[in-house]
Amino acid sequence: MKTKHQSGFTLVELLIATIILFSSLAAVSLIYRGAFIASEKASNHVKLVANLPALITQIQQQIKLTTSEQSTLSGSGVGWGVEYQWQAAIVQSKVVVDEAMTLEFGRQAAEKKQINLWQVTLIVKRNGIEKSYTFNEVSWHDA
């Protein structure tokens, strides 16, 4: 009897090839997923840090608008795609007298300035990422 020569793949060969194909696709998708997550985290950090100059400028303006009686300040809000919260307190204060005016007009008539050193704590949040920053700011008023 003549045997018929079969061409093509057997069922076992097809199953093995399919398993190899799906395994390689799963490995590639895991690598892509890891790269995508890392890219998203980096993007969120960049967006968070990119807004810091605007937030710090806003805080500086509010500190400069304070009266001489205020010793603490705070604020919070949502702006530029981030949620922020800040607190400021005077850590050092000094009254400076204009010496030239003191010599000419006397100490009582001399111009006096109260200079305050503020320590500001800023907390910024975006998409589950939270960063805390601390910096100093100076303000002055007529004393």
Pull the structure tokens for residue 11. Answer: 């069922």
pLDDT at 133: 96
pLDDT at 1: 55
Task: Sort residue 27 into left (φ over 0), alpha (ψ -120 to 50) or beta.
Answer: alpha
pLDDT at 103: 74
pLDDT values of the chain reduced to their tens digit, one per residue, 143 residues:
566 667 777 889 899 999 999 999 999 999 999 999 999 888 888 888 888 999 999 999 999 999 888 999 999 999 888 899 999 999 999 988 877 777 777 777 777 788 999 999 999 998 888 999 999 999 988 86
Three-state SS string across 6-72, please? CCCCCHHHHHHHHHHHHHHHHHHHHHHHHHHHHHHHHHHHHHHHHCHHHHHHHHHHHHHCCCCCCCE
In angstroms, rounded to a whole number, what is the distance separating the alpha carbons of residues 72 and 88?
6
Beta bridge partners of 69: none
